[in-house]
Copies of this chain bind each other. A is one copy, B any other.
Amino acid sequence: MVNACKAFNTYRFFSGKEKKDIIFKISKILENNKENLVALAMKETFLPKERLEGELSRTVFQLRSYAEAAESGHHLGLRIDFSDNKAQDTRKMMIPIGPIAVFGSANFPFAYSTAGGDTACALAAGCSVVVKAHPGHPLTGLAVANCIQEALPANNKNIFQYISNTDNDVSEKLVKHPNTAAVAFTGSLAAGRLFYNWAASRNVPIPVFAEMSSINPVFLLPNKLNADVNLLCNKLTDSLTQSAGQFCTNPGLIIGIDSPSLHEFVMEMTKRLDKMNGQAMLNAGILKNYQTASQKALNTDGVKQLTTKHPESNSDGFPILATVKAKDFIKSPILMREVFGMYSLIIKAKDNEELLQLSSLLEGQLTCSIWATEADIKNNKDLINILREKCGRFIFNGVPTGVRVALSMQHGGPYPATTDSRFTAVGADGISRFCRPLCFQNWPDEFLPSELQNNNPLNLYRIINNVGAVH
């Protein structure tokens, strides 16, 4: 972190264009090493080749998208108020906050790890980065880190560092190091909260962006369910079982009012899932956690397993569907905890009142989804208003998996989905996580950063005297 701090003191003055060029170069080197990287990740994670190839492409796309954003400057929040009779000239822009400690995820060895969204955003912001190797894919991480190193300027390799030591006390040291300015983390609620607590206990507290736990409730409203049982079954079965259910946006909760259509849906989905083969999970520890957590959920009062296989009957992960009445769900907070894998719980509410009651008890989520006709929307305004408060992304007639990399994306949500619902981990707005505003008061034009100079040499969008414009 001391070296990261030195590197930061050079890198923070790189122009948007210079940052863009470096990040693009990283993306190209990753592409050139695709075969080797995918082969390594296949060995370490058991994810299939096609999935990993897609993920690497996504990673390249993310890097390029945030590189473009570094140059276009949407994240700079440029504001200028000229001096007037009473007030001094003030001009504000976002500046990078400092060296960032990044802890990647198990399930995305590329897109949310060493060269993933957090690293890309931090580099685009102008921050140096220290990534700790993930114990699930340390060699993939190292190979990616070497690609990043190759892209960095010869005299400033410490802009990015990779720590191969996966011990827990390395994490604690990184989070508590006085030079660390912020932490980005993707993983479990327990670990994320621990990191948050470390950061909050520092002499100088720092922000922690931890993406942790979400069960992504999907509401099937009556008219839509009556009309489209088969469509819903297709969509939700696919969404649940992709990549062995190892997505943070996995639909872990499906909710409807008890009815013949819901019964039909449940039977049909159970049938489809029972026909499916198991899938290798990321590693033995994650399989074991899946088996333990799903068994614990199934043992909870009122929960009935619908699929037939016993959670521990296989060395692969396989789909598990269960059901519970709303009144029993409400009594058991454990059913709110994420079961990481192909597990989903169908909640049957007896009426609208129970639906509203259980909805208002839901914890924060990355996503909430509703399947509805227009009539359903009009009949369920209260439900919709409750769900808006619960999530970062609110989906209409769609499944939660599939996170678009776009400026309009919000991948984040109220706790425990993340530790900070005000920021996103996907899309170029994620760059803002690693910035803070600095106001220049009364500086001579030539000594201002070019982003704030009178003639707007970079042609950026700026709000001047409260009016937005590109001059």
Residues in chain A within 8 A of chain B (CB atoms)? 9, 13, 68, 72, 74, 77, 79-81, 87-88, 90-92, 95, 97-98, 196-197, 200, 204-205, 207, 364, 374, 377, 385, 388-389, 391-398, 402, 404, 406-410, 412, 414-416, 419-422, 424, 429, 435-444, 447, 461, 463, 466, 468, 470
Contact = CB atoms under 8 A, between A and B. Distances in A.
A404 B90 contact: yes
Contact of A442 (B377, B396, B419): B396
A303 B134 CA distance: 51
Given A200-B200, A415-B205, A419-B205, A410 B437 contact: yes
Contact of A441 (B87, B88, B395): B395
Given A92-B408, A200-B200, A408-B92, A396 B441 contact: yes
Contacts of A409: 81, 90, 92, 439
Contacts of A440: 393-394, 396
Contacts of A88: 395, 398, 402, 404
A388 B414 CA distance: 32
Contacts of A408: 79-81, 90-92, 439
A148 to B, nearest CB: 25
Given A87-B404, A88-B404, A95-B388, 11 more contacts: A72-B466, A87-B406, A97-B421, A200-B200, A205-B415, A207-B422, A392-B438, A394-B440, A394-B443, A396-B443, A409-B439
Nearest to A394: B440
Contacts of A74: 463, 468
Contacts of A391: 438
24 contacts: A79-B406, A79-B429, A81-B406, A87-B404, A92-B410, A95-B388, A97-B421, A196-B200, A200-B200, A377-B444, A391-B438, A392-B438, A393-B438, A394-B439, A394-B440, A396-B441, A396-B447, A407-B463, A407-B466, A410-B437, A410-B438, A424-B437, A429-B437, A468-B468
A363 B393 CA distance: 38
Nearest to A95: B388
Contacts of A90: 393, 404, 406, 408-409
A84 to B, nearest CB: 9
B81 A407 contact: yes
Contacts of A437: 392, 410, 412, 422, 424, 429
Contacts of A414: 204, 436
Contacts of A393: 90, 438-441
B442 A421 contact: no
Contacts of A461: 468
B406 A422 contact: no
A185 to B, nearest CB: 14
Contact of A447 (B377, B416, B447): B377
A394 B441 contact: yes
B444 A374 contact: yes
A442 B196 contact: no
B436 A398 contact: no
A375 to B, nearest CB: 12
B92 A438 contact: no
A9 B386 CA distance: 9
A98 B13 CA distance: 38
Contact of A204 (B80, B98, B415, B444): B415
Contacts of A207: 420, 422
B81 A438 contact: no
Contacts of A404: 81, 87-88, 90
Contacts of A13: 385
